[in-house]
């Protein structure tokens, strides 16, 4: 059964009621943490959203690192070539006494 929620953090998002099985000890920990300020569903949804966002970010970072590692030799040689082309800066100002 899908429901349309108009208020709160998830304004305009279609949600589906689902059922999950959790240990009693985990539910007790969740209840202690959230108290009466939020629902279990809202808390679990936020935790899952954060986890999925972090996993996506980690995947991107791993891909970026792989690209850098695959191109490390080229980047290193290009950087060395640029450094050899740099002109040293010489200051001809007299020191103030």
What SS3 state is found at 2?
strand
Low-confidence ranges of the chain (pLDDT < 70): 1-12, 83-90, 92, 95-97
Percent of the chain with pLDDT over 70: 71
Res 70: pLDDT: 87
Res 54: pLDDT: 97
- Establish if 84 belongs to a structural domain: no
Tokens coding 16: 């589906």
- Establish if 81 belongs to a structural domain: no
Total structural domains within the chain: 1
Asked if 11 and 5 count as a contact pair (C-beta separation under 8 A), the reply is yes
Q: Which domain holds residue 69?
A: 2-73
Q: Outline where 7-97 has alpha helix (H).
A: 24-34, 40-70, 72-85
Quote the CA–CA distance of 40 and 46 in Å, as a whole number.
10
- Establish if 38 belongs to a structural domain: yes
Tokens coding 24: 């009693």
Res 4: pLDDT: 47
């Amino acid at each position: 059964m899908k429901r349309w929620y108009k208020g709160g953090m998830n304004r305009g998002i279609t949600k589906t009621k689902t059922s999950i099985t959790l240990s009693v000890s985990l539910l007790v920990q969740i209840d202690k943490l959230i108290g009466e300020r939020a629902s279990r569903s809202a808390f679990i949804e936020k935790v899952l959203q954060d986890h999925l966002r972090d996993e996506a970010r980690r995947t991107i970072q791993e891909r970026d690192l792989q690209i850098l590692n695959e191109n490390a030799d080229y980047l290193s040689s290009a950087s060395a070539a640029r450094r050899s082309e740099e002109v040293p800066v010489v200051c001809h100002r007299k020191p103030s006494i």
